[in-house]
Structure 1
Amino acid sequence: MNKIINFIAFSLLLLSCSNTPEVVKPVVEPPVSNFAKGADISWITEMEASGRKFYDKSGKETECFALMKALGMNSIRLRVWVNPSPAYNNTADVVVKALRAKSLGFRIMIDFHYSDNWADPGKQTKPAAWNNLDLAGLKSAIGTHTTEVLTELKKNGITPEWVQVGNETNDGMLWPTGRASTNMSNFAQMINAGYDAVKAVFPTAKVIVHISNGYDNQLFRWMFDGLKTNGAKYDVIGMSLYPTFAPDYATGGWAKVNQQCLTNMNDMITRYNKEVMIVEVGMPWDSAAECKLFVSDIIAKTKSLSNEKGLGVLYWEPQAYNWVGYTLGAFDNSGKPTVAMDAFLP
């Protein structure tokens, strides 16, 4: 999702309506072993280079990965771009961040965008170097890029637990060739090229296909019915969940959106016999108390899924404060975590 561009419109929506449900029942989390609680903090090296500092709740300066650990997180997600300029999120930058995560015992997710920059529902732009490739060439490029990045991680002793092949691919990736609404078969073949490359380097890593709007069951059925028909291979259905983006958010608040997401997750498990994972969540940083309730509730709902098929919940860039206009983090303007981050504590 084009988070940076679209947040302004939804901030205006927040000002015009009341978002807090009238009744919020206490959240009781069922015990689930090995549940992932974490964050995508891929901006971290760029933020540090710009001089950003991070502080614990008492105001003590703290290294960001260590701070995430202290806040109850056990997993880190890192995005990968092909040939970005500047070089943040390229292979070398990802390895640096993955080594920092590994040193603190974090579980690691790698998120391939298969683009030189942001890939989301509104844009899935081919890397410049791949622009003239046909389907066969794109499949080969996906395989080579995936293999090269994962092999470099492996050389550094890093074993990701999950790997996304594409980011928020609501309508496929590598447009126009892999646009799902135009040619679902092409998209499925691209997914398989990524899947095969992942398994060749890390056979036990779980491959995720990720789309946004986890409350939208119609979207998910359309996508995963299409991938099933076309023989796509994957292990986990990944979801983004930003409740303020839901069409009926103003009339139901996050509680309604979370309930829709729970219904959708259960349907995905039953319909496709797959595990599910909420790989991105976020709410406005200045709605921290409400955000804590939202995150605590979606964690509990994900844990409630049968046979522990709900793998985890990850916040998207919670540490981002005063940063490129992004307002859906969970730190205040002094660089300290808000109460929203308490949702991840044991």
Structure 2
Amino acid sequence: MKTRISSFALRQALLVGAVWCTAGLFSSSALAQSFAKGADTGWLQQMEANGYKFYDEQGVEQDCFAILKAKGINSIRLRVWVNPSMVDWVNGHCSPAEVVTMAMRARNMGLRVMIDFHYSDSWADPGQQTKPAAWAQHSFSQLQADVYDHTLSVMTALKANGVTPEWVQVGNEISNGLLWPEGSTANFAQLTQLLNRGYEAVKAVSPTAKVVIHLDKGNDNAPFRSFFDQLTAHGGKYDVIGLSYYPYWLNQDYTASISGLQYNLNDMASRYGKEVVVAEVGGDCANAPQNVYDMLVAVQNAVFAVPEGKGLGVFYWEPEGYRSFSGYQLSAWDNDGKPSPALNAFLATPTTPPPVTPITNLLTNPGFEANGAATQTPSSWTSWANAPANYAADKTETGGQASTYRLTHWLGTAYQASTYQLKTGLPNGTYTLRAWVLNGGGQKACQLYAKNYGGPEKNLALPVTSAWTQIQLPNIEVTNGQCEVGLWSDANAGNWCSLDNVELFAAAVTSSRQRPEDAAVDAAIYPNPTSGMLMLKLPAGPLATTVRIYTATGKLVLTKKLSSASNPRVDVSGLATGSYRVQLERAGQHVTQQFIKQ
């Protein structure tokens, strides 16, 4: 998300990129080589004009593009404004002529080029899509011609100077449309016509360039489905779906939302048959460079893992933007002129996470779709409230995480309510409860819970989040053949939360790599969740066990060899909060279990 740098809102959400990769079936190594690792450098020309210098880690002054290239960056993204201020260094420039100059420079450095049309004189983002001053009084018909002519002019100038962009973004973070009010999402037919005119102008000059449609909050699936369903229904033309991803602006660690990003990437590629790219990403490199490094690796792996090679790459927005110049907290350059070590993440080769064994969801109507309409009595679920009038707090409504409906708790007065499902006939063993949630916050209690399974109730508070976030309760030890799971709210007037795609499943005990003839390693891990030491119960004997810990996206973060006689334990206090998979390997046999790092 972005707004003007001079406003507080801009400092809480800005822009970046798009990406490419040849579609079809490729080898993993070929995909890794074509994977776009990009940087938006719209401020670079202005910074250099203001005397800013760039240095490598050894303090040697170099061209900024050369330093980025040494960090693994192979692509440059450049925003273009229509008639920008030429005196405002931070919120202006990026004129068509300047963009052509920078694109030629990137090409000469062997870097691939992406052009980002804002169709504005300055920042365009979900909070502002202001028409260029010269277009302000134009009719809708003339606006269509404006979009076509401006796009055609810039593309023609680039081609005349030997630059054919691989990707062209038509509009920037257009979750709410562009060129307001005519191109607002409130009138999707007109929005589609404007986007199609941009598409047609790009293809008229550069038929091979891929046209990107770009929205913000890439970890939130529902708005993407809503937008692209409408765009498809109105005949929208595009090649690539672009997503922004900024955990920093979500006020949470990336481990809380990376699964949502992965889900959305996969869903966009399969639902619409399009390639996808994380077109904007960034983190607080000044205060948490290692966390940003880990996040960038995880995001690259998530994009790379999209099936059929449809994940094109990842672009960092304005890494070179000194905070002393831009005031932008998520830049990746220190004020001493040297790049943050977080950028070393682009030197890593993206990898596909290890396959996850499919689960069998034991719940009925887990997505609240069975009734086919909004209801206060969702099929297979039971409601409870502390007063007859408070049953109205419990209902299903549209706006589901990956389909039409979701469960919501809300009432205009204080209430207590729960919605639950009791599963009987369960084999005794260990189970996990998982769900996607939204939560406006403010409740006395708002919890996903499991109880009546033969042990003490387990519950997990829903995080306050406006984007769908997956949470889970592991290690539910069923000893009486049943388990009740549900959502509980003890809320004040106007408090709300939502639940969708709830899963109760038996905990995995073997990895997908285990052969049928292999016997599973007799092992266990505890406590779970843990904040520090993870204890392991290993079988007796002299054989060593190798412990490998993977993040939710498949990044290997810890490896250790243990013997059964060494009181085996692994210190995980240094890991970020989130969900992990621990794999134990002994004599060629494997067991994989999940645990939560608190």
Counterparts of 1:9 and 1:295, CA distance in 2:
19
1:293 and 2:294 matched: yes
Name the counterpart of 1:39: 39
Runs of at least 4 residues off by over 6 Å: none
Q: 1:127 aligns with which of 127, 132, 143?
A: 132
Name the counterpart of 2:160: 155
Counterparts of 1:59 and 1:268, CA distance in 2:
43
Counterparts of 1:238 and 1:73, CA distance in 2:
18
Which region of structure 1 is more displaced relative to structure 2, 128-137 or 194-203?
Answer: 128-137
- The alignment partner of 1:319 has SS state of coil
Name the counterpart of 2:274: 274
Cα deviation for residue 6 of structure 1 reads: 3.3
- The alignment partner of 1:59 has SS state of coil
Aligned pair in 2 of structure 1 residues 218, 97: CA closer, same or farther (>3 Å)?
same
Cα deviation for residue 339 of structure 1 reads: 1.1
Counterparts of 1:220 and 1:281, CA distance in 2:
17
Q: How does 1:245-324 map to 2 (within 5 A)?
A: 245-246=249-250, 249-250=251-252, 253-286=253-286, 287-321=288-322, 322-324=324-326
Question: CA offsets per residue over residues 267-309 of structure 1, 9 Å max, x none?
Answer: 1011111100011100112111110000011001111111110
- Aligned partner letter, 1:337: P
Counterparts of 2:262 and 2:215, CA distance in 1:
15
Counterparts of 2:198 and 2:48, CA distance in 1:
31
Higher relative contact order (CA 8 A, sep 6+): 1
Counterparts of 1:9 and 1:89, CA distance in 2:
21
Name the counterpart of 1:343: 345
- The alignment partner of 1:323 has SS state of helix
- The alignment partner of 1:187 has SS state of helix
Q: How does 1:8-23 map to 2 (within 5 A)?
A: none
Cα deviation for residue 257 of structure 1 reads: 1.6
**Does the CA-based 8 Å contact 1:80-1:89 persist in structure 2?**
yes
Counterparts of 1:239 and 1:47, CA distance in 2:
27
Counterparts of 1:8 and 1:158, CA distance in 2:
32
**Number of equivalences:** 322
Name the counterpart of 1:185: 189
Question: CA offsets per residue over residues 133-176 of structure 1, 9 Å max, x none?
Answer: 12111110000000000000000000100000000001110000
Q: 2:215 aligns with which of 211, 214, 235?
A: 211
- The alignment partner of 1:293 has SS state of helix
**Does the CA-based 8 Å contact 1:7-1:327 persist in structure 2?**
no
Aligned pair in 2 of structure 1 residues 135, 310: CA closer, same or farther (>3 Å)?
same
- Aligned partner letter, 1:218: A
Q: How does 1:14-93 map to 2 (within 5 A)?
A: 31=29, 32=31, 33-86=33-86, 88-93=93-98
1:330 and 2:332 matched: yes
Cα deviation for residue 244 of structure 1 reads: 1.5
- The alignment partner of 2:326 has SS state of coil
Counterparts of 1:187 and 1:211, CA distance in 2:
14
- Aligned partner letter, 1:92: A
Tell me how large the CA RMSD over aligned residues is. 1.4
- Aligned partner letter, 1:306: P
Name the counterpart of 2:590: none
- Aligned partner letter, 1:49: A
Counterparts of 2:215 and 2:11, CA distance in 1:
22
Cα deviation for residue 2 of structure 1 reads: 2.0
Counterparts of 1:110 and 1:318, CA distance in 2:
17
**Does the CA-based 8 Å contact 2:11-2:328 persist in structure 1?**
no
Cα deviation for residue 219 of structure 1 reads: 1.1
**Does the CA-based 8 Å contact 1:254-1:294 persist in structure 2?**
yes
- The alignment partner of 2:226 has SS state of helix
Counterparts of 1:239 and 1:336, CA distance in 2:
28
Counterparts of 1:177 and 1:134, CA distance in 2:
9
Counterparts of 1:62 and 1:79, CA distance in 2:
23
- The alignment partner of 1:183 has SS state of helix
Q: How does 1:133-172 map to 2 (within 5 A)?
A: 133-172=138-177
Counterparts of 2:304 and 2:200, CA distance in 1:
29
Cα deviation for residue 237 of structure 1 reads: 0.2
Q: Whose strand proportion is higher, 1 or 2?
A: 2
Counterparts of 1:110 and 1:94, CA distance in 2:
8
**Does the CA-based 8 Å contact 1:168-1:211 persist in structure 2?**
yes
Name the counterpart of 1:6: 9
**Does the CA-based 8 Å contact 1:236-1:277 persist in structure 2?**
yes
Question: CA offsets per residue over residues 81-125 of structure 1, 9 Å max, x none?
Answer: 000011621111001100110001111000000000000010000
Cα deviation for residue 256 of structure 1 reads: 2.2
Counterparts of 1:98 and 1:300, CA distance in 2:
28
- Aligned partner letter, 1:82: V
Counterparts of 2:214 and 2:162, CA distance in 1:
26
**Does the CA-based 8 Å contact 2:2-2:12 persist in structure 1?**
no
Cα deviation for residue 328 of structure 1 reads: 0.4
Cα deviation for residue 323 of structure 1 reads: 2.0
- The alignment partner of 1:301 has SS state of helix
Counterparts of 1:233 and 1:9, CA distance in 2:
31
Counterparts of 1:302 and 1:335, CA distance in 2:
30
Which region of structure 1 is more displaced relative to structure 2, 328-337 or 150-159?
Answer: 328-337
**Does the CA-based 8 Å contact 1:279-1:314 persist in structure 2?**
yes
Structure 2 unaligned residues grouped into runs of 5+: 14-27, 87-91, 349-598
Q: Whose helix proportion is higher, 1 or 2?
A: 1
**Does the CA-based 8 Å contact 1:76-1:106 persist in structure 2?**
yes
Q: 1:108 aligns with which of 85, 90, 113?
A: 113
**Does the CA-based 8 Å contact 2:12-2:249 persist in structure 1?**
no
Compute the TM-score of the two structures, normalised by the length of structure 1. 0.90
Cα deviation for residue 8 of structure 1 reads: 5.6
Question: CA offsets per residue over residues 168-187 of structure 1, 9 Å max, x none?
Answer: 0011100000001x101111
Cα deviation for residue 9 of structure 1 reads: 6.2
**Does the CA-based 8 Å contact 2:76-2:112 persist in structure 1?**
yes
Cα deviation for residue 329 of structure 1 reads: 0.9
Counterparts of 1:152 and 1:300, CA distance in 2:
36
Aligned pair in 2 of structure 1 residues 299, 96: CA closer, same or farther (>3 Å)?
same
